[in-house]
A and B are shown apart, each in its own frame.
Chain A
Amino acid sequence: MSSASAAVDFAWPFEDTSRAPFRVYTDADIYALEQERIFQGPVWNFLALECEIPNPGDYKTTFAGDAPIIVARAKDGAINAMLNRCAHKGALVCYKPKGNVAEFNCVYHNWTYDLSGNLTGVAFRKGVGGKGGLSDEFEMKANGLRQLRVETYNGLIFGTFSDETPPFVDFIGAELASNIDRVFPKKLKVLGYHCQVLPNNWKLYAENNKDSYHASLLHVFHNTFGVVRPNMGGGVKISDNGWHHLSYTQRESLGDEVVAKEKVRSLQEQYKLNDVTMMEHKLELGDQVTNAIQTVFPSLVVQQILNALAVRQIQPKGVDRTELVWTILGFEDDDADMQELRLRVNNLVGPAGLISMEDGCVGGWVQRAAKADPEAMTIMPMGGRAIEASKGSRITEAAVRGFWKGWRECMKV
């Protein structure tokens, strides 16, 4: 696949990733190259959860970048992922979001595939009455569904198109893998889904998650109602290669005066909530961390916001449209009270989330403003130019600079 590469005339115009040109959000050729070099390149794409396909024959459809994917559990329990595109005419093999099947059957011309994607049957293969059908040269083996390499980690299923992608734990690094161990220590249960359409390039949302600087400035619900002080402890961890990050807060006060001097619009405190039950939570993960937002480059966010646990999958849908799929989670052993607590605290997140809804619109505002001037740039100066971890402070854009480092390395620009 070199068609996209040939068409793109783009070189990174700066010496480092503390700046990025707006063109990266608006150029359709760059978008096409990202499909090839990022989503079908040396990354692990989050695809689904093991608990969504518990039984042999269960499947779910999803995306890796633009590419439609089937994730299926085979008869032996193994999990397979394959391109959802018939080897014959290119139709979607599975056009339903999920199901349970003995084999896959493309309804267009009745070609069949096993649960690993191997071509097992072609209608009228021998023709009719000795006429028509496939020639002897046709190789069934060479015409299966394109298969992805799959790894699972704590119930999360990842797939990669590339042979170069290192094992998942090496890909994100042991330090960041340990946060997935922390947030998803036992069997997961899906409480529901949200799907949010963002009117912006996928990278604006990917950056937003890594941008711990904006959190208390844009999302002022907590501060407005005085429910949680912004001056909690926490920090930012970044993988050695810069691609992935973890931003977290934990309970330890740095003293009110630290933030009191800043112009945080929110510290008015004349507003009070009538009902604080949606803020009630339990520290269930064995530590003092109340919020943890983790990114796995390029398209996964692992979320712990109080007891609202989720994975968010970023699905690019063209240069200026992104779908964000939230899978909201609990644990299989949650009792009724714990589930109720999670459902309440989930008011904070999702498309209508009291501390997340703003992320739905800010990316669109950048997209609209950036469009007119692709050679102008965004700057990311907070916390210097380095891509390094930060303890105690989340007022840094280091992880965003790390995102662009990963982007450049994959894109080879």
Chain B
Amino acid sequence: MTTTESDLALRLRVEDLYAEYAHTIDDDRLEEWPGLFTERGVYRVTTRENYDNGLPLAMVYCDGRGMMADRISALRTANIFEPHVYCHMLSAVRVLSREGGIIRARCNFSVLRTMQEGETMLFAVGRTFDKIVEDGGRLRFAERLCVLDSRRVDTLLVIPV
């Protein structure tokens, strides 16, 4: 397959979206997180166990920006947990296809979680399977599925991965 310059440009834009996603969460700018999705975008977090067995359950299932915003306002106002931050490590970014305006892409991620007391642990490891579209002059997620290899969730998951 020959790689055209536009493939490279697209890949850079996808990588940039991925990095922006990670920074938005890691910088605790969570109110901006739903804006990385389209208005009707879907965000799901599941485990490899469920994914490989074709089981539909997700740990977090947001269908549209409204539900994403509700997750964030619940985190800010209602849910109780020990303060912590994430540091996302992203790798193996690939654009898989571009058809009918939908870019399919994926990456691997690990999320290091640091608690308020300073202890860091490897909190989550997995893969994303993404559908990305041009929306309002930029790329946004139409769908982001995070599949955790790390099936055992330590304590709780409140900040989106």
Question: Is B28 an interface residue when CB atoms closer than 8 A count as contact?
Answer: no
Of all A-B residue pairs in the complex, the 4 with the closest CB atoms, nearest first, are A192-B57, A274-B66, A275-B66, A360-B156
A194 to B64, CA, bound (A): 23
Residues of chain A contacted by B70 (CB below 8 angstroms): 225, 273-275, 278
Residues of chain B contacted by A198 (CB below 8 angstroms): 155
Residues A351 and B61 in contact, CB atoms below 8 Å apart: no
Question: Is B128 an interface residue when CB atoms closer than 8 A count as contact?
Answer: no
Q: What are 30 sample pairs from A and B whose C-beta atoms fall under 8 A apart? A: A190-B55, A192-B56, A193-B151, A194-B59, A195-B47, A195-B151, A195-B152, A197-B152, A197-B154, A197-B155, A221-B74, A225-B70, A225-B78, A273-B70, A274-B67, A274-B69, A274-B70, A275-B63, A275-B67, A278-B61, A278-B70, A344-B61, A344-B63, A347-B61, A350-B59, A351-B155, A351-B156, A354-B74, A357-B81, A357-B157
| Least distance between B24 CB and chain A CB atoms (Å) | 18
Main secondary structure of the interface of B (DSSP, over half): mixed
Question: Is B9 an interface residue when CB atoms closer than 8 A count as contact?
Answer: no
Residues of chain A contacted by B158 (CB below 8 angstroms): 352, 357
A392 to B104, CA, bound (A): 53
Residues A343 and B56 in contact, CB atoms below 8 Å apart: yes
Question: Is A259 an interface residue when CB atoms closer than 8 A count as contact?
Answer: no
Considering only residues 112-133 of chain B, those with a C-beta below 8 Å from chain A are none
**Other-chain residue from B45, B50, B77 in contact with A352 (beta carbon distance below 8 A):** B45
Residues of chain A contacted by B56 (CB below 8 angstroms): 191-192, 339, 343
**Other-chain residue from B59, B77, B151 in contact with A224 (beta carbon distance below 8 A):** B77
A191 to B57, CA, bound (A): 5
Question: Is B82 an interface residue when CB atoms closer than 8 A count as contact?
Answer: yes
A343 to B74, CA, bound (A): 19
Question: Is B134 an interface residue when CB atoms closer than 8 A count as contact?
Answer: no
Residues of chain B contacted by A273 (CB below 8 angstroms): 66, 70
Residues B60 and A352 in contact, CB atoms below 8 Å apart: yes
A339 to B46, CA, bound (A): 16
Residues of chain B contacted by A221 (CB below 8 angstroms): 74, 78-79
**Other-chain residue from A224, A354, A361 in contact with B82 (beta carbon distance below 8 A):** A361
Question: Is B7 an interface residue when CB atoms closer than 8 A count as contact?
Answer: no
Chain B interfacial positions (CB closer than 8 Å to A): 45-47, 49-50, 55-67, 69-71, 73-74, 77-82, 151-158
Residues B47 and A277 in contact, CB atoms below 8 Å apart: no
Q: Given the interface contacts A224-B74, A224-B78, A358-B79, does A193 sit within 8 Å of B55 by beta carbon?
A: yes
Residues B59 and A352 in contact, CB atoms below 8 Å apart: yes
Residues B63 and A277 in contact, CB atoms below 8 Å apart: yes
A171 to B65, CA, bound (A): 48
Residues of chain A contacted by B47 (CB below 8 angstroms): 192-195
Residues of chain A contacted by B49 (CB below 8 angstroms): 193
| Least distance between A272 CB and chain B CB atoms (Å) | 9
| Least distance between B147 CB and chain A CB atoms (Å) | 12
Output the nearest chain A residue to B53 by Cβ-Cβ distance.
A192
Interchain pairs with CB closer than 8 A, number:
120
Residues of chain A contacted by B82 (CB below 8 angstroms): 361
Q: Given the interface contacts A190-B55, A193-B47, A193-B49, does A358 sit within 8 Å of B80 by beta carbon?
A: yes
Chain A interfacial positions (CB closer than 8 Å to B): 190-199, 218, 220-221, 224-225, 266, 271, 273-275, 277-278, 323, 328, 339, 343-344, 346-347, 350-352, 354, 357-358, 360-361, 364
Output the nearest chain A residue to B49 by Cβ-Cβ distance.
A193
A358 to B152, CA, bound (A): 16
A224 to B71, CA, bound (A): 13
Residues A351 and B59 in contact, CB atoms below 8 Å apart: yes
| Least distance between A178 CB and chain B CB atoms (Å) | 28
A109 to B70, CA, bound (A): 55
| Least distance between B116 CB and chain A CB atoms (Å) | 12
A274 to B64, CA, bound (A): 10
Output the nearest chain A residue to B69 by Cβ-Cβ distance.
A274
A266 to B58, CA, bound (A): 27
Residues of chain B contacted by A364 (CB below 8 angstroms): 155
**Other-chain residue from B67, B73, B79, B152 in contact with A196 (beta carbon distance below 8 A):** B152
Output the nearest chain B residue to A358 by Cβ-Cβ distance.
B80
Output the nearest chain B residue to A327 by Cβ-Cβ distance.
B57
Residues A196 and B61 in contact, CB atoms below 8 Å apart: no
Residues of chain A contacted by B63 (CB below 8 angstroms): 275, 277, 344
| Least distance between A326 CB and chain B CB atoms (Å) | 9
A198 to B64, CA, bound (A): 31
Residues of chain B contacted by A358 (CB below 8 angstroms): 79-81, 156
Residues of chain B contacted by A352 (CB below 8 angstroms): 45, 59-60, 153, 156-158
Residues of chain A contacted by B60 (CB below 8 angstroms): 347, 352
Residues A351 and B57 in contact, CB atoms below 8 Å apart: no
Residues B156 and A193 in contact, CB atoms below 8 Å apart: no
Output the nearest chain B residue to A359 by Cβ-Cβ distance.
B156
- Extra contacts, 6 of them, besides A193-B47, A194-B153, A347-B61 (Cβ < 8 A), are A195-B47, A199-B154, A221-B79, A343-B57, A351-B59, A361-B81
**Other-chain residue from B69, B151, B152, B156 in contact with A361 (beta carbon distance below 8 A):** B156
Residues B153 and A351 in contact, CB atoms below 8 Å apart: yes
| Least distance between A411 CB and chain B CB atoms (Å) | 28
